[in-house]
Amino acid sequence: MKRHRIEATIMRHTYEARRNLDRILDMVYWPVLDIIVWGFFTLYLGRGTAMKPGMISFMLGAIILWGLFFAFQRDMAVGFLDELWSRNLVNLFSTPLSVSEYMTGLIAVNVLKAATGMTAAALIAWGCYAFDIFPQLPAFLPFMLNLMLFALALGIVITGLIFRYTTKIQGLAWSFAGLLMPLSCVLYPLKSLPSVLQPVAWMLPTTHSFEGMRQVLAGGGFSRGHFGWGLALNAMYFVFAIVFFRWIFESARSRGLLVKLE
Amino acid sequence: MLIEIDHLTKRFGKFVAVDDVSFEVRPGEIVGLLGPNGAGKTTTIHMILGLISPSAGEVRIFGKPFNAHRQEILEQMNFTSPYVAFPGRLTVFENLMVFARMYNVREPRKKIVELARLFGIEEMIRKPFARLSSGETTRVGLCKALMNEPHLLLLDEPTAYLDPQIAAHVKGILLAMQRERGTTILYTSHNMAEVEKMCHRIIFMSHGRIIASGSPIEVTQTILNEDRDEPALEEVFLHVAQRRANNEAA
């Protein structure tokens, strides 16, 4: 991998983020809107008597971390869709740029974009709802890492599917994370799921991140178990995503789809 | 040889887009790849660039097999076609900066200004790409194609959207590059007069196969099967297209 080609990819997507209102909205508007809506909801719940202590923190923390996961997964796929929509793929891949260099550049830009959205949401949660996520960050960081790794694996798989099935399935970029939300136990503990769904939820690194986050907020400390499970599952999904992407990319080259995607 | 194409074939299911094509291009040559629509020219160029993988055969560039030396080879070559585009919201300058970084160009700003001036688009450099006319976008593509001072240039109808005056200017630049730097150019065009003027050698394709190759006069004589004193590629093109239409009707 050559650094200057990774930098070129970073430049391309940074320029796009600066010039494209859709990307600015994606980056800040949705995370902020989510935290405002859920913040009001938690205020309403907080007035009731049945609210368990710490529930507001659980919910707001979960919304901030889910926003990070969703944004990272979406931006990986949308970054690639930007090349398709602008008919830039042939220009890019007729240079020495490799797929791994391109993906590395895209990941770097998307980490910054997701962090910007998460910071905006966290500041609003702190300013408006007195939920301060920042002291918890050191304990949250491993779970955030797991969320981003899983989002990356999903983003790679979705990008591969777009290579093969073109923009016909571009809606997956925005919708796929939503499919996982009910099983990821974002706002409720794993044990509240029907027992038949619990093993499926257990196989998602997102579930372990949110379970781990709740343990930190409940004062139970950092959960090595949830972090370890999440990391091991991510390693498995990541290897699968890379193998799948390589196979589908070669298949797209063989079918001539790389030039027909234009 | 700078390009060696050895028994290159591309099948899409039952359809054979490129059928056992072999040719060579020497350093410093300008070679025209001609043929009617669907002849296999663009698929051949895409296989040379590694954008489509061949079903059979091999591409060697600068004496090296493409697949094993993709990055090393692509660093020294470039490509443009008026049918591909750049991100529309980015300015011309930003788009060219991305490619300057991609090729690790030293003093990229100076290089971009120099190329923009060469192709007469310096006044559009701060405009978003989407606001340019077709002729202007073609010239941005040419600026990108010369960004890394390539030894090998693949040009797919480089003058397609240009008015005659600008097209003549572009051809002058390409001929000067070939003369001064020894740049090798593989060129496709539907403008036969342009090809006669630009190319040392022609490879004429139809139905995925090479049906004639040589100098413009040799190709004219081979395909028309007549003795001619002057090349007549326009007539050759019409003859091949008509023959193809007759075959398809039959």
Overall number of domains in chain A: 1
State whether B87 and A95 contact (CB < 8 Å).
no
What's the rounded Cα separation, in Å, for the pair B84 and B33?
19
- Topology (CATH) of B1-76+152-163+182-250: Rossmann fold (3.40.50)
Going by their DSSP bridges, the two strands B56-61 and B15-25 should be labelled as unpaired
The C-alpha angle with vertex B161 and arms to B159 and B162, in degrees rounded to 5, equals 65
What's the rounded Cα separation, in Å, for the pair B237 and B104?
41
Q: Give the best residue of B52, B75, B105 to mutate against chain A (max A CB count within 10 A).
A: B52
Give residue A50's pLDDT band: very low, low, confident or very high (50, 70, 90).
low
Q: Which residues of chain A lie closer than 8 angstroms to B76, CB-CB?
A: none
- Is the pLDDT at A262 greater than 80? The verdict is no
pLDDT in tens, A157-182: 998 888 888 888 888 888 888 889 99
What phi and psi values does residue A195 have, to the nearest 5 degrees?
A: -60, -30
DSSP code of residue B67: G
Query: By the 8 A CB rule, do A230 and A212 touch?
Result: yes
- Interface size A-B, in CB pairs within 8 Å, comes to 101
Q: Which residues of chain A lie closer than 8 angstroms to B144, CB-CB?
A: 91
Chain A residue at shortest CA distance from B49: A94
Q: Which residue blocks in B119-232 are alpha helix, DSSP H?
A: 134-146, 164-181, 192-198, 216-224
Beta bridge partners of B3: B25, B61
pLDDT of residue A23: 86
Give residue A52's pLDDT band: very low, low, confident or very high (50, 70, 90).
low
What's the rounded Cα separation, in Å, for the pair B155 and B168?
15
- Is the pLDDT at A58 greater than 90? The verdict is no
Q: Please state the rounded mean pLDDT for residues A219-246.
A: 94
Query: What DSSP letter does each residue of A208-256 carry, written as one string?
Result: HHHHHHHHHHTT----HHHHHHHHHHHHHHHHHHHHHHHHHHHHHHHHT
Chain A residue at shortest CA distance from B94: A15
Q: Which domain holds residue A95?
A: 3-260
pLDDT of residue A147: 95
Q: Which residue blocks in A25-136 are alpha helix, DSSP H?
A: 30-47, 55-85, 89-93, 99-129
Beta bridge partners of B155: B80, B187
Quick one: residue A77, left, alpha or beta (phi over 0 = left, psi -120 to 50 = alpha)? alpha
What's the rounded Cα separation, in Å, for the pair A93 and A80?
12
Q: Give the best residue of B18, B46, B51 to mutate against chain A (max A CB count within 10 A).
A: B51
pLDDT in tens, A70-81: 998 999 989 988
pLDDT of residue B68: 95
Would you tell me which residues 76-95 of chain B have a C-beta closer than 8 angstroms to some C-beta of chain A?
Answer: 78-79, 81, 83-90, 94
Residues forming CATH 3.40.50.300 domain(s) in chain B: 1-76+152-163+182-250
Minimum distance, in Å, between the CA of residue B75 and any CA atom of chain A = 6
pLDDT of residue B233: 86
Q: Give the best residue of A82, A91, A253 to mutate against chain B (max B CB count within 10 A).
A: A91
Give residue A53's pLDDT band: very low, low, confident or very high (50, 70, 90).
low
What's the rounded Cα separation, in Å, for the pair A191 and A197?
10
What's the rounded Cα separation, in Å, for the pair A38 and B61?
59
Q: CB neighbours (10 Å) of residue B47?
A: 26
- Round the CA-based radius of gyration of chain A to a whole number and report it: 19
Q: Which residues of chain B lie closer than 8 angstroms to A20, CB-CB?
A: 89
Tens-binned pLDDT, residue by residue, of chain B (250 aa): 999 999 999 999 999 999 999 999 999 999 999 998 889 999 999 999 999 999 999 999 999 999 999 999 999 999 999 888 999 999 999 999 999 999 999 999 999 999 999 999 999 999 999 999 999 999 999 999 999 999 999 999 998 889 999 999 999 999 999 999 999 999 998 888 889 889 999 999 999 999 999 999 999 988 888 777 888 888 888 888 888 778 777 7
Q: Which residues of chain B lie closer than 8 angstroms to A94, CB-CB?
A: 49-51, 74, 78-79
Query: By the 8 A CB rule, do B67 and B52 touch?
Result: no
